[in-house]
Each structure stands twice: as C-alpha cells, then as structure tokens.
A and B are shown apart, each in its own frame.
Chain A
Amino acid sequence: MSVCLKLTEATIKFGGLVAVNKVSFELKQGDLFGLIGPNGAGKTTCFNIITGVYKPTSGEIEFNGKLIGGTPSNKIANLGIARTFQNIRLFKSLTVIENVVVGGFLRHKTGLFGAMAYLPAQIRETEKLRAEAMELLKIVDLADMASARSADLSYGMQRRLEIARALATQPKLLLLDEPAAGMNPQEKEELNVMVRRIRDQFQLTVLLIEHDMRFVMSLCERILVLDAGTEIASGPPDAIRNDPKVIAAYLGQPA
C-alpha cells in the first residue's frame, strides 16, 4: 500500500501558543485513521494546516508524494483532499442539492462566458453535476430533502450533508472533523456503517477526529492521540485504550 498522507514534524504557532507541535504521522491508502485528544489539543488545527487554511510554521506535509504545506485551500481540494467542519459550515441559504453541486464544481470544464449566455454545454454540465449530486445524496440518505434549504435541516442531517458535499469533490483523502458530534446513539451507529461503506465504495483514505471513544475505537484501525499540540500516543485502538498517558490526558491528571 502506498503512502497517502505524511506529516513530518508539522508545527504551527499562533503568537506564543504552539497549537500543533512537531506532529508526525503517516496514512496509507485506504486507512481509517483516528485523531483524538482533549478539547484544544490541536486536532482541528491539524486539519487546517493539511487543508491549507493555515500555513504551517515549520515541518512538512506530503500528499501522494507532493509537498503541500502552505498551498491554498482550493488547490488542495483540487489535489484530492476534502473535509468537513467541526462547526458545520454549509452554504446555509442554498438548497441541499446546491451545496453538493458546489462541491462537484471543481471538475467543471465549461467557461464562465458560456454560462452567462446559458449555452447548451453549460446546461448539460449543470444537469450532469446535479445528477451526480443526487446520487451522493442517496448515499447519505438525504435524497428526499434535496430541495430544502440546508439551514433548515436537523443537526445530524447537516453533518451528513457536509460529508456528501466533500465527497462531491471526488477526493482521495477525506477529513472528518467530529462527524458524530450532536448525534444520538442510533445516528452514530448509522454513521459508523456509512463511513465504512463510503471508504470502500470510493476507495478513500479517511482521517477522522472524534470525541466519542466508543465510536472511534470501533471505527478506526489506527489512532493518534494529541494533547496540548503534541503527540502522546499512537497505535491500534486496543493499545490506546490502555495507555496510561492517554487516560491521564483525558482525566486531566499530570502523566
């Protein structure tokens, strides 16, 4: 299996605060990898430097053999990394299906001037993107909400819509930031199944942040634990579960 994503001593500072401190890890093609840690540990910030929201202060980020640290977000999306957001960031006043179409837009081939003239090529392309979006909505079980305003969806639905929107970019690597937050146990169970299914169906590599231990442990094959920006443990779920440092970090005691 080839390496998909590799972080080497990735570091970012905000003023005096070192939010991510020399974090290194490696994801193989097809991995289901979990990133956990207490609040403020720097997990979301890791996503942000991988997806080009922030530029890492030092260290390297490699995606499919290419250094991507500091590349603008939209270029990274084009390279094949898609993400969801912890604090849901949908295009609120757009409809559900329009949200997904925006995700697919990076594959457009027709020009803007044609769109202003509403030429057949652009019409066909729009129809094709809508059809693809509809397929994705079926996968996340939102097909019957396609023309609702996305802000009107329930919390769990919004999280699933974010996943569909990310999938529309046809990524190779999918980053999910707390996808189960705010869901009830049954929804979590369905999500668990869904993440596995989309991983297999689209041959994705998945990197996932989650607070719910049971959820991560049952879903991920490998886990990395961050605390105050630094890695404190990594390995398969069973090893992590019993690691004293991890327990201490979660219970807030000095290790």
Chain B
Amino acid sequence: MAGLELSTLPQQLVNGILLGSIYALIALGYTMVYGVLKLINFAHGEVFMIGAYAALFASWGLGYTPNNAMSGSNPINLLIMLLASMTLCGLLGVLIERFAYRPMRNQPRIASLITAIGVSLLLQYGGQLFLPSSPAPNIDAKVNPYQDNITIPLRPVDGTLVAAAKQLEAKQIETKTAFDGYLERTKESPFQLSAAGQPFKKAAQDAERDLRTAEGKAEASGLSIRLPKGQMIMLVTTVVLMALLNFLVMHTKPGRAMRAASHDFDAASLMGINVNSTITFTFLIGSALAGAGAMMNATFLSGTKIDTFFGMLPGVKAFVAAVLGGIGNIPGAVLGGILMGLAETLVVWAGYDSYRDAIAFIVLIIVLLFKPGGLLGSNKVEKV
C-alpha cells in the first residue's frame, strides 16, 4: 500500500466532494426520469458527453482554439459556455425522449431499456463521425479566469525543518554553478560527460536531491487544504442549480405535476395532468443539469480530455449515486453523488488506483443487496 498518508486526507475529502458534486448533477437526471417513467435512461451519460462538446465548441467560438494563444478570460465566457451546454443538452434530452422513449411507453420496460442502450451506442459511435475525438481535444485552461488556489492552513509548517531546508539551498546553488561553469568551460554536453566532469555532476545532483527531500519534509510537516478557485465556483454553481431545482420541483406547477406523476403515473394522468408535457419537462431539466455538470467538469478540472465515450463512466457512477441515495429521490441523488465522489477519491488515496472504477459497482451491489431502496428511499414490499 502506497500509503495511508493521513496528512493528505483532508485534501482528499475536499476533492471527493468536488468530484461528487458533478456526479450529483448527473444523478439528478437519472433520478428524475426514473421517478416519473421508471426507466433507466441509459443515454444520459451520452447527453453529458454532448454537453462537454458543447462547452468545447463554445470556448472555440469565443476564440480559445488550440492554435490561438489567448490571454486571460472573464466570467461572461464561462456563463456563455454553461448556457450553451445546458441548452443543447436540454434539447437533446427532449428529442431523445420524444423519438426513442415515447413510442415505447406502452411496451415492456425491457424494450425501452434496449432502446436506451441503442441511443447511447448511437451517440457514442455516431458522434465519432462528426465530433473531433482522436486526438481527444480538451478545453483550453485559459478560458478559466480563476486559476489560483485558496489555501487554508490547518497546521503551520515546522520552523526548524524550513530553516534546515534553507541551509541546504546555498549548497545546491553552489554546486550547480560549479557544474554549469564546468560545462561552460569544456563545452561538454551534460549527457556525454568526460570522466573529469562526473564529480561535478554528481555533487550537483546530490545537493539538489537533499534540498528537495528537506523541502518535502518541511512542507509535509504543515497541513493545508488547497482549494482551486475554479472548482469552488463549480461547487457554488452546483449548489445554486440545486436550489433552483428544488424551487422548481416544490413550488411551480410543472414541478408539482412532476411529483404527482412520479408518485402515481396513472392517477396523475387521470387527474388531468398532462403527462406528456410533464415528461418533456423532466427530460429538459434533467438533461440541462447534466450539461451543466459536463461544462464544469471539462472546464474546471483542467486538461480533461473529451471523446465520445467521455460520458460512459461518469454516467454509470452517477447512476449508482442515484440508486445509492434512493432512486426517484432528489435529495438522495445529491447525497449519493457526494458519497460516490468521496468513495472514489478515498479508494485512490488508499492506493487502489486501478480499482477506482470498480468501486462504483461494489457500492451499488452492496446497497442493492442490503438496502434496495437506497439511503433515503423506502423499501417497498410487493403487495399480493
């Protein structure tokens, strides 16, 4: 085990929550659709993928193309990208529902599930024909105006260790200048040294290594949490979007219709609720949230490579998050998303990096076997 380095734990917890907030945004779409239609919308991950592309194209449209060196950016750019992504995803979700799921509504659920898989495969592989995917592009980090970190110190660094490191610095500079001087004099290449040069090189390297070790020690003696500003904005946006969703679902007419439909689909339609427009609304909102998640994932976790399979794993993990929280339950999806994010970062932290994608399924199986209704859901017994 690489190391259960307790000092890095707080930072990992923060990272987990940040990652989890993206899963939560995707999970909301799964949960809302499942709540109303009892359908696992397999194509939801692909909607997320299209959202990332929408953000990418928006950033290109704003001038942040790979071969165009831009300097600086502003929040308006981010907002444009967010809106582009949410709009496109919302539309895509509505289209998918209208043309792939609605015709299947009176069929066995398995048939809809297969159609959903079909749509998902179509977007993944069909996307390859139209979208740039090899080499996988990424959004230029410069579009994000908030590059710096907020650092929260938890424990100050040990002064004596810092002083010790400082002392080594002089030695390092001295040996390095000596080596550079030697190279200058002899015009030798550092990679093809003659025997005379070797001691210089070794001295420089040793001093360098000692310095870095001491610096590392000094740094590790202190404890701080690094909060990239961009990701903080991501978290705030997520919270705002969720508050909006909560308002929409609890206090507006379409929201009430949605709750009624997910409580009892047939009764709702008997009570005069327009089920079709309620479902359209559900897909619109759920997909737009996935779009928001995609834009923020691709922008703020900088360097994220986008290809047409980009949505697969986050999609699966978010689905697990929805089940974990209790599928059909909106606060449950948020809780589940955060827990999934935490679980994943903790697995990596514990040194099982290669199992980071398996953990989602392990959590899923445990939940379903022992609390099939999820954490916030209820366990229903079939009435006979």
- Mark out the residues of chain A between 43 and 91 whose CB falls within 8 Å of any chain B CB in the assembled complex: 44, 48, 53, 85
A-side contacts of B381, CB under 8 Å: 14
A14 to B379, CA, bound (A): 12
B363-384 CB contacts (< 8 Å) to partner A? 381, 384
Interface of B is mostly: loop
A85 to B382, CA, bound (A): 14
Q: How far is the CB of A27 from chain B (nearest CB, A)?
A: 21
Question: Which residues of B in the span 285-326 have a Cβ within 8 Å of any Cβ on A?
Answer: none
A53 to B381, CA, bound (A): 11
- Tell me how far the C-beta of A51 lies from the nearest C-beta in chain B, rounded to whole angstroms: 9
Please name all residues of chain A whose beta carbon is closer than 8 Å to the beta carbon of B384 when the two chains form the complex: 44, 48, 53, 85
A11-37 to B contact mask, C-beta < 8 Å, 1/0:
000100000000000000000000000
Q: Which residues of B contact A48 (CB under 8 A)?
A: 384
Residue on B nearest A47 in the bound complex, by CB: B384
**How far apart are B106's CB and chain A's nearest CB, in angstroms?**
15
Q: Which residues of B contact A44 (CB under 8 A)?
A: 384
Q: How far is the CA of A14 from the CA of B381 in the complex (A)?
A: 10
Quick one: closest A residue to B382, CB to CB?
A53
Shortest distance from the beta carbon of B344 to any chain A beta carbon, whole Å: 35
The chain B residues found within 8 Å of chain A, CB to CB, are 381, 384
CA A53 – CA B384 in complex, angstroms? 8
Q: Please list 5 pairs of residues, one from A and one from B, whose beta carbons are closer than 8 Å in the complex, sorted by A's number.
A: A14-B381, A44-B384, A48-B384, A53-B384, A85-B384
Min CB distance B378 to A, Å, is: 10
Chain B contacts of A53 at CB under 8 A?
384
Q: How far is the CB of B371 from chain A (nearest CB, A)?
A: 16
A: residues with CB less than 8 A from B are 14, 44, 48, 53, 85
With A and B bound together, what is the CA distance between A48 and B384 in angstroms? Answer: 8
- Give bound CA distance, A113 to B192, whole Å: 75
**C-alpha spacing A48/B381, complex, angstroms:** 13
Closest 3 CB pairs of A and B: A53-B384, A48-B384, A85-B384
The chain B residue with its CB closest to the CB of A177 is: B384
Report B-chain residues with C-beta under 8 Å of the C-beta of A14: 381
Question: In whole angstroms, how far apart are the Cα atoms of A141 and B384 in the complex?
Answer: 27
Q: How distant is the Cα of A191 from the Cα of B381 in the complex, in angstroms?
A: 33
How distant is A234 from chain B, measured CB to nearest CB, in Å? 25
Provide the bound-state CA to CA distance between A170 and B381, in Å. 30
Q: B189 to nearest A CB, angstroms?
A: 75
What's the nearest-Cβ distance from chain B to residue A149, in Å?
16
Q: Chain B: which residue is nearest A44 at the CB level? A: B384
Nearest chain B CB to A208 CB, angstrom units = 17
Shortest Cβ gap from A235 to chain B (Å): 29
- Which B residues are in CB contact (< 8 Å) with A85? 384
Residue ID in chain A nearest B378 by CB atoms = A15
How many angstroms from the CA of A44 to the CA of B383 in the assembled complex?
10
Q: How far is the CA of A147 from the CA of B122 in the complex (A)?
A: 42
A200 vs B97: C-alpha distance in the bound complex, in angstroms?
A: 58
User: Which single residue of chain B is at the shortest CB-CB distance from A14?
Assistant: B381
Shortest B319–chain A CB gap in Å is 29
Q: What separation, in Å, do the CA atoms of A85 and B384 have in the docked complex?
A: 8
Q: How far is the CA of A150 from the CA of B264 in the complex (A)?
A: 29
How far is it, in angstroms, between the C-alpha of A7 and the C-alpha of B69 when the chains are bound? 84
Q: Report the separation of the CA atoms of residues A99 and B384 in the bound assembly, to the nearest whole angstrom.
A: 19
- How far in angstroms is the closest Cβ of chain A from B54? 45
| Nearest CB of chain A from residue B380's CB, rounded to whole Å | 11
Of chain B, the residue at the smallest CB distance from A48 is B384
CA distance A29 to B381 in the complex (A): 34
Residue of chain B at shortest CB distance from A85: B384
| Min C-beta distance of B211 to chain A, whole Å | 67
Cβ of A26 to closest chain B Cβ, rounded Å = 24
- Smallest Cβ distance from A87 to chain B, in angstroms? 8
- Shortest CB–CB separation between residue A48 and chain B, in angstroms? 6
Give chain B nearest CB distance to A140 CB in angstroms: 23
Q: How far is the CA of A220 from the CA of B70 in the complex (A)?
A: 90
How many whole Å from B110's CB to the nearest CB in chain A?
Answer: 14
How long is the Cα–Cα vector from A44 to B384 in the complex, in angstroms?
8
Q: Smallest CB-CB separation from A87: which chain B residue? A: B384
A57 to chain B, nearest CB (A): 14
Bound Cα distance A53, B382 (Å): 10
Give the distance in Å from the alpha carbon of A85 to the alpha carbon of B381 in the complex.
Answer: 17
Interchain CA distance A44-B381 in the complex, whole Å: 15
B137 smallest CB distance to A (angstroms) = 50
Q: Smallest CB–CB gap between B383 and chain A, Å?
A: 9
B372 to chain A, nearest CB (A): 17
Q: How far is the CB of B379 from chain A (nearest CB, A)?
A: 11
A14→B378 CA distance, assembly (Å): 13
Say how far A46's CB is from chain B's closest CB, in angstroms.
12
Q: How far is the CB of B373 from chain A (nearest CB, A)?
A: 13
A14-B384 Cα distance, complex, nearest whole Å:
13
Nearest Cβ on chain B to A20's Cβ, whole angstroms: 14
Distance in Å from the Cβ of A88 to the closest Cβ of chain B? 12
Closest chain-B Cβ to A49's Cβ sits at a distance in Å of 11
**A74 → chain B closest CB, angstroms:** 14
Q: How far is the CB of A65 from chain B (nearest CB, A)?
A: 27
